[in-house]
Structure 1
Amino acid sequence: MKVLIVSDTHKAHNGLKEAIKREAPLDMLIHLGDGEGYEDEIKEMANCPVHIIGGNNDFFCDLAREEEFFICGVHVFITHGHAYFVSLDEERLLAEGRGRGADIIMYGHTHKPSVHEEGATTILNPGSISYPRQEGRKPSYIVMNADLEEKPKFDIKYL
């Protein structure tokens, strides 16, 4: 299963369109918030099942703030991250994800890409595909490849 993971598009979709084009075909798209009212357009662009949550800039929307689901038997917890103060550190987010029994925790908000292991838990942030903040400021996203036989693999990619 090939999953495109993005966050923080903030109404600017050229990078998302490019990532979808580069990575097609996709089995799933996960958007970790701050689409700013464009969730219908994002779902239409994806042409696959989409999980999208609300972020701190998603005003007046009906999006859930958090979601849990399984991908190839792996328990995934997604949130934008601002409610867990991820700009300071990941401690609260990690505690919440572990408390829920998540194998993978995905969040956005910081606009800085990362993938790392904390014990048996993988924590990842795709950065921002529209407004990156990491050194070099390249738009980023993550591709997850998963199947029932092996542990999921994650690749941070840049536009």
Structure 2
Amino acid sequence: MRVLIVSDTHGRHAGLDQALEEAGAIDMFIHLGDLEGGEEYIDAVVDCEKHMVRGNNDFFSGLPREEEFYIGKYKVFITHGHAYYVSLDPEHIREEGEARRSDIVMFGHTHRPFFDQKGGVTVLNPGSLSFPRQEGRRGSYMLMEVSEDGKITYEQRYLTAKQ
């Protein structure tokens, strides 16, 4: 199973289109908030199982603030992250994930990629496709693959420069 994880597109679709093209065939799509009206566009261009949550800039969105679901045997908790003070420290969201007995916690909001595995919990942020804040300022996303035997690999990816 191939899972494309994105965040913070802020109503801009060029980076999302590029990430979808670069990622190739996917089985699941996860957006971690701040779509800013992009739900309809995503529904039109992404043809697989989707999980999307609203962010702090999704004022009129009907999307849930957070969601829990399974990818294979792994319990996943997704949220935009602003309610868990992720800009200060990802430890609060890790603790929330542990309290929910999640194996994987995903958040956005900071516009910076983050990945950490500790105590049986994976915490990740794919960064932002539209307004990256990390060094180099290239839009970023994450590709997660779950093999048939249940092993997970994660790959942090950055949008390639268009010629």
1:120-157 C-alpha deviation (Å, 9 max, x unpaired): 10000000011100011110000000135133110000
The alpha carbon displacement at 1:11 in A equals 0.9
The answer (yes or no) to whether the contact 2:4–2:141 under 8 Å persists in 1 is: yes
1:57-92 C-alpha deviation (Å, 9 max, x unpaired): 001111100000000111000000000000000121
For residue 9 of structure 2, give the secondary structure of its aligned residue in structure 1: coil
The alpha carbon displacement at 1:48 in A equals 1.1
Residue 79 (str. 1) matches residue 91 (str. 2) = no
Residues in 1 aligned to 2:44 and 2:141: alpha-carbon distance in whole angstroms: 19
The answer (yes or no) to whether the contact 1:72–1:147 under 8 Å persists in 2 is: no
Opposite residue 42 of structure 2, the aligned amino acid is I
1:37-56 C-alpha deviation (Å, 9 max, x unpaired): 11121122111111000000
Equivalent pairs counted in the alignment come to: 159
> Who is 2:130 aligned against?
130
> Who is 1:149 aligned against?
149
> Who is 1:63 aligned against?
63
Residues in 1 aligned to 2:73 and 2:43: alpha-carbon distance in whole angstroms: 24
> Who is 1:52 aligned against?
52
Opposite residue 132 of structure 1, the aligned amino acid is P
Deviating more after overlay: 147-156 vs 45-54: 147-156
> Who is 1:3 aligned against?
3
Identity %: 53
Residues in 1 aligned to 2:99 and 2:17: alpha-carbon distance in whole angstroms: 35
The answer (yes or no) to whether the contact 1:73–1:148 under 8 Å persists in 2 is: no
Deviating more after overlay: 35-44 vs 104-113: 35-44
The alpha carbon displacement at 1:10 in A equals 0.3
Runs (5+) with no aligned partner, structure 1: none
TM-score, scaled relative to structure 2: 0.95
Deviating more after overlay: 145-154 vs 5-14: 145-154
Residues in 2 aligned to 1:116 and 1:157: alpha-carbon distance in whole angstroms: 16
CA RMSD of aligned residues (A): 0.9
The answer (yes or no) to whether the contact 2:111–2:127 under 8 Å persists in 1 is: yes
> Who is 1:102 aligned against?
102
Residues in 2 aligned to 1:69 and 1:17: alpha-carbon distance in whole angstroms: 25
